[in-house]
Structure 1
Amino acid sequence: MIRLSLAALLFSATAALAYPVTVQSCDRELTIDAAPARAISNDVNLTEMMLVLGLRDRMVGYTGISGWKTLDEEMRAGVAELPELSAKYPTKEVLAGAEADFFFAGWNYGMKVGGEVTPETLQPLGIQTYELTESCIHIGPKAKSSMDDMYNDILNLGRIFGVGAKADELVAGWQARLTEATADVNRSAPLRVFVYDSGEEAPFTAGAYAMPTAMIEAAGGVNIMADLEKSWAEIAWEPVVERNPQVVVIVNYGDVTADQKIAFMKENPAFANIDAVKNDRFVVLEYVEATPGPRNIKAVEKLVAGFRGN
């Protein structure tokens, strides 16, 4: 018992010496004086980033999941002891009422530009905010989507919470797994791929700055909307038909199922000549796989198999 206590004290002293830490959060530097103890995350993928780093005991809850999507068995187990504080985007009152000291969110992932909840509005409440890297395009320029966007968030969270070694280990493992999964990918003729998130009158899809673009490229394809200078956006169906995707990636969540989205495309005469529809080539990704988070590597593996027709 004495040895354990001494080890704990030494660990605490070492951890204390690591602060303050400064990380880049979109267009600002975020300085953390001590590891957050009452954190809140928004959305299923951001919450899973916290959980995979072993931070559940540093959290007082999460927001923004049940209002749009459901938790799978793995996620339900992960958050079993945590309350959902808001079904959709939280208010300042919700976050302050939980006595939060940290909010992990993103633009259109719990925060809206010019909205009530922003890093600036939360700062006076004693709540510091780290912004999801993928979402930074909503407030200024950023590089095109890459797998490094997700790695960056994990590494920054590791520094913020004093679990940098764990974050390094996770990222190294994912990088090795990604290298293995894509080792035999033929990149000489990338498949044309369309990401169908939702919408019948006008599809909601992934552009240059959304994570699926990076995952599609890692798997040997090219997003037909990679010239769309946005992350996620609504477009018209005409460019989809004109660019003739060979594979359609379906994002599965919400009230309209993946099967229903596939049926809509297959039964609509306007899409009859699209190669993906003619050849029945659809790959389904769950929302938590299509948005930045720990399941992105699994998503690339699914895309590699789907592009090969497996």
Structure 2
Amino acid sequence: MPTLAHQQIHPHPHNKSAFAKHVILLLSTMMAGVLQASSATDQHYPIDVQSCDRIVTFDHAPKATVSNDVNLTEMMLALKLQDSMVGFTGVSGWKTLDPTLRNGIGELPELSPKYPSKEVLLGADADFYFAGWNYGMRVGGGVTPDTLDPLGIKVYELTESCIHIMDKPKVSMNDLYNDLLNLGRIFNVESRANTLVTGYKKELADFQAHLTPLPSPTKVFVYDSGEEQPFTSGRYGMPTALIEAAGGKNITDDVKKSWTQIGWESVIDRAPDVIIIVNYGDVTAQQKINFLRSNPAFSDIPAVKNNQFTVLEYVEATPGPRNIEAIKHLAKAFRAAL
């Protein structure tokens, strides 16, 4: 059946005046709708958004966004902001592009396999860069809010990463919620962002309400990578928030870093009951587990002795839309370790 838009209207010769009035009324209604939408947008901007220790002013919604890393890109997708993107960076240089993400981004190109240069962002005509410290930017590096601002590229920094340049509270799920809500304001999709965050909060609260309490918090070590020294997550890294929400305690909770190297002696002394393996890159999760099992120095660690390993994908262990499912996964693993 043809739609109304495809039907031809043939006015009766004696009813041309009525038809003209109908057309004028229709056009007036359409114009009023356009003006109303435009007015709503005008009223929203300009806005000020807190990004780490900066206030960033937006006069309009970004139209050419580049996001760095798989988790930040998934935040953009969760808010249905694909049409405001011109590409993403920092995925294939370290990890495989998740099939779910690949389907979500459609034809959007990966502009750089690792951290982008200013030239890459300029080449894409970017007007907004969603990144973080050690998530696409390095302190003192060539791509920072200060270096991009003169080029007309605004930056919003991942909240979890702010610890690299300022003091901040211990990591919590609010770090994720804050980013989603701020993105909602930046792109004028506040209702969408509020709905998403409210849904996440309810899902987590409902899950925790029916969770069997643990006799005491499960002691947990996060093993990202490294054999000489393990790379792990401290007090300000998202895994700490995930572990606590699931009923555990990160054994490096006193390490005032987000992601950092420590000594194996600390891991042995703190005797974790469960070891989380962060899966990404060339070394597989199973290879990391085999390394821990094969080293005699680790044989008395309860998690190694009892084979209590659980795997989180990189995109689950870093701030992003998969954090709630990660908490559910960890809660199950902690209770299985009793």
Letter in 2 for 1:176: K
Bigger radius of gyration among the two: 2
Taking the TM superposition and a 5 Å limit, the aligned residue runs for 1:263-282 are 263-282=290-309
For residue 166 of structure 1, what is the aligned residue in structure 2? Answer: 192
Counterparts of 1:4-83 in structure 2, within 5 Å, are: 7=33, 9-83=35-109
TM-score, length-normalised on structure 2? 0.89
Alpha-carbon separation, structure 2, partners of 1:4 and 1:222: 58
Runs of 4+ in 1 over 6 A off after TM superposition: none
Residues of 1 paired with 2:86 and 2:62: CA distance?
Answer: 11
* Equivalent of 2:262 in 235, 242, 248: 235
1:6, distance to aligned residue in structure 2 (A): 5.4
Match of 1:203 in 2: 230
Kindly indicate whether residue 321 of structure 2 is the aligned counterpart of residue 294 of structure 1.
yes
- 1:80 CA displacement: 2.1
Alignment partner, residue 149 of structure 2: 123
- C-alpha separation in 1, matches of 2:104 and 2:261: 32
Gaps of 5+ in 2: 6-25
Query: Cα 1:244–1:4, aligned 2, differ >3 Å: closer, same or farther?
Result: farther
Matches of 1:165 and 1:144, distance apart in 2: 28
User: What are the Cα deviations for residues 274-294 of structure 1, in whole angstroms up to 9, with x where unaligned?
Assistant: 111111111110000000000
- The worse-fitting range, judged by mean Cα deviation, of 160-169 and 186-195 is 186-195
SS at structure 2 position matched to 1:302: helix
State whether residues 74 and 320 of structure 2, in contact with CA within 8 Å, keep that contact through their aligned partners in structure 1: yes
User: Over the residues paired in the alignment, what is the CA RMSD in angstroms?
Assistant: 1.4
Contact 2:79 2:184 in 1 (8 A): yes
Structure 1 residue 122, shift from structure 2 partner? 0.3
> Which position in structure 1 is the counterpart of 2:21?
none
| Equivalenced residues, count | 310
Question: 2:311 matched to which residue of 1?
Answer: 284
**1:20-76 per-position Cα deviation (integer Å, ceiling 9, x unaligned):** 111110001111110000010000000000111010000000011010111121011
The normalised TM-score by structure 1 is 0.97
Q: Any stretches of 5+ residues in structure 1 without a counterpart?
A: none
Deviation at 1:13, TM superposition (A): 2.6
Are 1:42 and 1:63, in contact at CA under 8 Å, matched by a contact in 2?
yes
2:75 maps to a residue whose letter is M
Answer whether contact 1:185 1:220 (CA < 8 A) is retained: no
Which residue of structure 2 lines up, in the alignment, with residue 253 of structure 1? 280
Aligned counterpart in structure 1 of residue 127 of structure 2, from 94, 98, 101: 101
For residues 121-166 of structure 1, what are the alpha-carbon distances to aligned partners after superposition, in whole Å with 9 as ceiling and x for unaligned?
A: 0000000000000000000111001000000000000000000100
Listed one character per residue, the Cα deviations across residues 235-290 of structure 1 (whole Å, up to 9, x for unaligned) are: 11000000000000110000011111111111111111111111111111000000
- From 206, 213, 218, the equivalent of 1:186 is 213
